[in-house]
Amino acid sequence: MCVKPRRRDLLAALGPLALSPVASATPLQSVDASPEAPPTRLFGDVMFEKYLAQEVAGLRGQFLGGVTTLAEWKAKRERLQSEFLDMIGLWPLPEKTLLQATVTGSIVREDFVVEKLYYQSRPGLYVTANLWRPRVVKEKLPAVLLFVGHYNRGRNGHKTFMQDQGKWFARNGYVCLIMDTLARGELPGVHQGLYAQAPRPGGERMWWISRGYTPAAVECWNAIRGIDYLTARPEVDADRIAATGLSGGGAVTFWITAVDDRVKVAAAHSGLTDWDCLVLDRILRLHCDCMIPHNTYGWELTTVGALIAPTPFLFVNCDDDLGFPMAANRRIAERLKKIYRMYDREDQFQEYVTHGPAGAHSYTPDSRMAIFKWINGHLKKDSGPVTDVDDIRLPEEELRAFPTDADIPRGVVNNEIDKRFVPIAKVPLPSRGEFDLWRQDLVTKLRKLSFRTFPERIPPADKAPRPNQYRYVEWEREEGVQAWKTEPGIVNYIALRGVVSNEPPREKSVTLLVLNEGESIGGLPEWATGLIAGEPYAVLAPRGVAGTVWTSESANYMPRAHLCIGRTIDQGRVWDIAAVGRHLNGDGSIRAIGRGQAGILCIYAALFEPSIREVAVVAPPASHAEGPAFLNVLRVLDIPDALGLLAPRRLTLVNADDSLFERTRAIYESAGAGDNVRRA
């Protein structure tokens, strides 16, 4: 039977954490909600909102990476650029292969020309685009990269939606390259893998987390190669390049200007918000994966905007945009003014606010003209007035780079680029006598790229306050279930079987059985009966399992919110297992067991907690592509190698894939511990 603790007891166990605005605004309906009124909020929702709020609060002081002087910033800037590229899955930068740029046709009008073209930003990754330029070119011209948002124009590609601005730039003496994005181009690829919209409750590609992939990497790389294409054209002045865009295009404007110093002026419309907005206000539910880096290095997100300084930058927003609230815009602007003041270039950063609701998340005549004027003033030194664009549009199908489906080349990889873009680690087997160095290298990489927030050793869990104070006496007497805090704000549930509840066991081994999502803490699971034979054991429901589950409405929000704070839920579960194991250990040792993903969590917990002397895994997944999800882990190793890292400690694999077992066994042999791994 699953014990359902009372709400007041659970809240007491959490401690004095600040409740997020969402949590405080919504009444808690937990286990005591009536069947006629399904619960809209569970204890897990409240617990994680508090936890995320405290973690976001800790990141606020990380703007500029904590530096306070310009000299410190300049010394750190290059490293921060590489860290940002790493967080979107673009580090190290790919090789710049031949673009093989091809113009497939042109449209000529009295005062401008549109060239329909494509290039390959890497082999098989096609970027379809329109290049707008004056019909008569007498000298080198400034150029503009115009990034589009998530407009759905079907087979034409959404570059065709932005032709009014392309025309304006061409008529006013610019070369303007408008590129389709991966999401909505003529050759579309998967752009929304973690992001989900109703009625689909969760993302389809959670393995992106372990792969270290985001579509922001592709968009940023396509933009870098777009600059390569522009600077190779004879009519383009390579020293006068601007970047601009709205929404997803505004985000790419931030990304490319932060990492490519060839951009000399930029204007981003509704392209960046901060963690407070994304996580605490849950606005990330409105944002595509291309707009949210995985926060591997614990950044305050506005730091990516600071990398733009001292490049002239116009920060454009609407005062009624739900996805980019003005409170967040003001916070970002104040932070960015700080870095421009450090450079003594405060005049090079400006804000522009247009008005809703008609312009809530779109260009308005005044926002377009503000952008045109900003770019004109910096690339052409023209501070005069500008006029808006006309509304005469070319037929969109005439702007296709590939007029018919028959024109599409073979070998296009856009629709599977997420499986190709970020390389997977290829880990060589260690030679005899080299296991320790092999292991040390992999653990170091794991700590850097996947478990950066983990201390050298995870502190032991703390049991909840004493029963006579917070009414846990019913649980311990009747069911042997306790609530333990594994880190500030996180509660786990423990069912103790033959284990003294108030003190750690002494001089004896204890088995720690770890549950998966959907499993009950009551009773011994059938799969574990052959692994536990009379010895004392504890059943652990780590965060998000059993008593700390969240509602289905949070199914997509929770994993994405954790990426914003530089963690995954599964990494938190590793922490829970290590913390509980350390508490239970006393002077004895811990054997951890789990089925499927929970078993792999036990393996990683053992890497960080030496008191876990033995692990048994039932039906382990063959790859992290199936889970559990850890940041960037596939860039370091995969499950067979992770199992091998446990050597020389004892490892039992039950119903394991043959190839997985054989590779793990080979690693154990290299450690001289072949007898310590067995299959059952």
Name the band, by pLDDT with cuts 50, 70 and 90, for residue 465.
low
Task: Give the separation between CA 535 and CA 529, rounded to whole angstroms.
Answer: 11
The answer to whether domain 70-419 and domain 435-679 are alike in fold is: yes
**Torsion over CA: 336, 339, 341, 344 (sign):** negative
- Residues 65-69, mean pLDDT to the nearest whole number: 90
Asked whether the predicted pLDDT for residue 20 surpasses 90, the reply is no
CB 128 within 8 A of CB 180: yes
**pLDDT in the model for residue 228:** 98
- Residues 226-239, mean pLDDT to the nearest whole number: 98
107-121, 276-290, 517-531: which has the minimum mean pLDDT?
517-531
- For the chain, give the percent of residues with pLDDT over 70: 89
| The model's pTM | 0.91
Q: What is the pLDDT of residues 292-345, one digit of tens each?
A: 999 999 999 999 999 999 999 999 999 999 999 999 999 999 999 999 999 999
**pLDDT in the model for residue 589:** 85
Q: Both ends of the chain: CA-CA distance in Å?
A: 29
Q: What is the pLDDT of residues 350-362, one digit of tens each?
A: 999 999 887 789 9
**pLDDT in the model for residue 31:** 33
19 Cβ neighbours under 8 A, 6+ residues apart: 46, 49, 50, 53
Q: What is the pLDDT of residues 44-55, one digit of tens each?
A: 999 999 999 999
The CATH T-level fold of domain 70-419 is Rossmann fold (3.40.50)
Mean pLDDT estimate for the chain: 89
Q: What is the pLDDT of residues 639-671, one digit of tens each?
A: 999 999 999 999 999 999 999 999 999 999 999
Q: How many Cα atoms within 13 Å fall on the side-chain side of residue 321?
A: 30
**pLDDT in the model for residue 152:** 87
CB crowding 213-235: b at 16 or more within 10 Å, else e: bbbbbbbbbbbbbbbbbbeebee
Phi (first) and psi of residue 410, to 5 degrees? -80, 160
Q: Annotate 84-107 with DSSP letters as a single string.
A: HHHHHT--SPPP------EEEEEE
Task: Give the separation between CA 187 and CA 413, rounded to whole angstroms.
Answer: 9
Whole-number Cα distances in Å, 394 to 144, 162, 164, 187, 482: 20, 11, 9, 21, 68
Structure tokens at 280: 């605490």
- Residues 521-542, mean pLDDT to the nearest whole number: 88
Asked whether the predicted pLDDT for residue 109 surpasses 60, the reply is yes
**Torsion over CA: 516, 517, 520, 526 (sign):** negative
Structure tokens at 603: 């393996």
419, amino acid identity: K
Asked whether the predicted pLDDT for residue 409 surpasses 60, the reply is yes
Task: Give the separation between CA 607 and CA 454, rounded to whole angstroms.
Answer: 12
Structure tokens at 235: 């009519």
**pLDDT in the model for residue 481:** 83
In this predicted model, which residue has the larger pLDDT, 190 or 132? 132
Residue showing tokens 């990754």: 125
Torsion of CA 283, 285, 286, 291, to 10 degrees: 90
What CATH number has the domain spanning 435-679? 3.40.50.1820
**pLDDT in the model for residue 196:** 73
Q: Annotate 167-203 with DSSP letters as a single string.
A: HHHHHTT-EEEEEPPSSSSSS-----SS---TT--S-
Domain locations in the chain as residue ranges: 7-61, 70-419, 435-679
- Residues 42-71, mean pLDDT to the nearest whole number: 94
- For the chain, give the percent of residues with pLDDT over 90: 79
- Residues 247-257, mean pLDDT to the nearest whole number: 97
Q: What is the pLDDT of residues 167-190, one digit of tens each?
A: 999 999 999 999 999 989 999 888
**pLDDT in the model for residue 482:** 87
CB 583 within 8 A of CB 461: yes
Name the band, by pLDDT with cuts 50, 70 and 90, for residue 265.
very high
Name the band, by pLDDT with cuts 50, 70 and 90, for residue 469.
very low
- Residues 385-411, mean pLDDT to the nearest whole number: 94
**pLDDT in the model for residue 33:** 36
- Residues 515-538, mean pLDDT to the nearest whole number: 88
